[in-house]
Amino acid sequence: MHKLMFLVAACGAAACSASTSSPANDPEPRPVPAADTVVRARADVNLSGSWATGSVAEPAAQRIVLSPQCNYHPALWLIEQDGDSVRAWTIPESRDQGIATRQPVSTTVPTVGRVSGVELRMGASGARYVLRYDSTSGHLRGTLNGAPFWAVRLDVVRPEGCLPPP
């Protein structure tokens, strides 16, 4: 019994000495990633919908309205927002041709992120968006992977009476 109490006391002492360390031996704190340094606030804007995007020659209009031909689908950026959570898909332009193509319709994995106030930060598979919503122009502006990026709301008005491709 005496040996058991000595063993328990020795283990307790070892545990205490292992948990206390001098400041000189403490590891340096790791830097916090930039995305985690953003102060979280509720979303002050709803970004859901279709957007036209670019990196140069940002249009002055608050909204772009396109009336494409029957068989044409313009490129667009589709955003779905739920509270402060955001998912976005980049959909390339396409044409209905009546034959199957190998071109993907859209990326199946959305880029995900968060809206805090009017700030939008998203990132996935090599794409990192840091954007701010401008309430005066209605545009999103900022960077995509460090390069200039803008987005303007887009309305696509489909023509009536279109015949499906053969």
Collapse the DSSP code of 18 into the 3-class scheme (helix H, G, I; strand E, B; otherwise coil) and give the result: helix
Tokens of 132: 């701010």
If DSSP codes are grouped into helix, strand and coil, which group holds residue 12?
A: helix
| Domain parsing of the chain, residue ranges | 40-96+106-159
Ranges of H-type helices in 20-99: none
pTM for the whole structure: 0.67
The domain over range 40-96+106-159 is classified in CATH as 2.40.128: yes
% of the chain with per-residue pLDDT over 70: 69
For residue 45, how many other CB atoms are within 10 A of its CB? 16
Q: Place 96 in a pLDDT band, splitting at 50, 70 and 90.
A: confident
- Please answer whether residues 156 and 66 qualify as being in contact, where contact means their C-beta atoms are separated by less than 8 angstroms: yes
Each residue of 108-125: pLDDT tens digit?
688 999 999 999 999 877
Model pLDDT for residues 36-77, shown as the tens digit of each residue:
444 567 888 999 999 999 999 999 999 999 889 888 889 999
Contacts of 5 (CB under 8 A, 6+ apart): none
